[in-house]
Structure 1
Amino acid sequence: MQYRIIPVTSFAENCTIIWCEKTKKAAIVDPGGESAQIKKLISQLDVMIEKILLTHGHLDHVGAASELAQYYNVAIYGPNEQDQFLLDNLPLQAAQFGLPFASAFTPDHWLKDGDVLAIGEQVLHVIHCPGHTPGHVVFVNQTTKLALVGDVLFKGSIGRTDFPRGNYQDLMHSIKQKLWPLGDDIQFISGHGPMSTLGDERRTNPFLR
């Protein structure tokens, strides 16, 4: 599975395009905004978008999802249905953070722990990882040892839990009981900032010692 990261919005959120190298079928993960820039990158990559994937319901991760789903005529998958309250409040989130208006929406498909998604001939396993939000999910491709972890884990840090319905104990459980068992060699893309590996974070992340 190939990928390209494009930071969007004033929050520098890592929107990621992932695709199957053999079939050129692709998905957009967490399109937080600036849809024109995302479309431009997709055109340059010459891939065929077949899905939009969302890790959680915060505006900076979903702000352009509805527009891009309509543009490419594809379905939106994720997050877990426990994040519906966040998607319902997108207009308020936009007003609070000074971002362009975003209308509320409901994904075409909610995701749950253990779901499996296909991107061409590549497979993504879905892991429900609550804590940052109650409905947060993570996508893992075992073939290429790549995970898209949204705002659960960062290089040198962890997700915030001071937002509505965030829970620190749930976040710690998600990281230690759901991510660590995937293996130290898993490389991950966070919702913000640089990439890292689970092994590096398990050994050096000051918030997890």
Structure 2
Amino acid sequence: MSEDRKLLEPMATVVSVVLRALLALLTAGLVLRVVRGSWGDAVVCVTDDSTTVSTTGPTLAESGVRVDSVPRYCAESPDTYLSVLHQLGTLPTTLLLISGLFLLHRLLRDAARDGVHTERTASRLRLLGWWLLVGSVVAEVAETGARAALLAELSKATDFSAGTWLDLWTPPYLAVLTGLGLLTFARITRVGAALRIDLEGVV
């Protein structure tokens, strides 16, 4: 399967290195927090992307250009609840990235060993596609909910509601399209694997 291994480079090497680097950074960060004995955040901030305020006074903008600012709320010495909401605002995407890289690494490793046009490769490709498709939507929903709840806690002008959630919601278009593309290539790979088996039977 040396030819298949060559086809998967340099992607296989890059994914392997990036995955190991991310895991090392996360482990180092966890150990550092344990050593320091600090699990909470010193400052918790959230940006209200749904609100813009026109800035008055001197600015660096050209003549005839209006400058808008987006309010950013920060809580110093937040309690545990605010720290948890803050972590939930970014943690799902981080977990999705690491788990997606792990699945991609396993896919490339097995494809290099067993061959690209195999049923197993098609199954792993389909799993990665569904993981990215569903996972990106779930992660964005969870993170948006956490940011909306945090904003409601820090701003008197905002309450935790469906309207606030929708204002902060950003659909993960690229991740969804990539997941759909992987599912399509999984079907193509499955057909290729079946044709390969038929050709081997003829030969």
TM-score range, shorter chain: under 0.3
Query: What TM-score results when the alignment is normalised by the length of structure 1?
Result: 0.25
Instruction: Considering fraction of residues, name the structure with more helix.
Output: 2
Which structure has more RCO (C-alpha within 8 Å, separation ≥ 6)? Answer: 2
Query: What TM-score results when the alignment is normalised by the length of structure 2?
Result: 0.25
Instruction: Considering fraction of residues, name the structure with more strand.
Output: 1
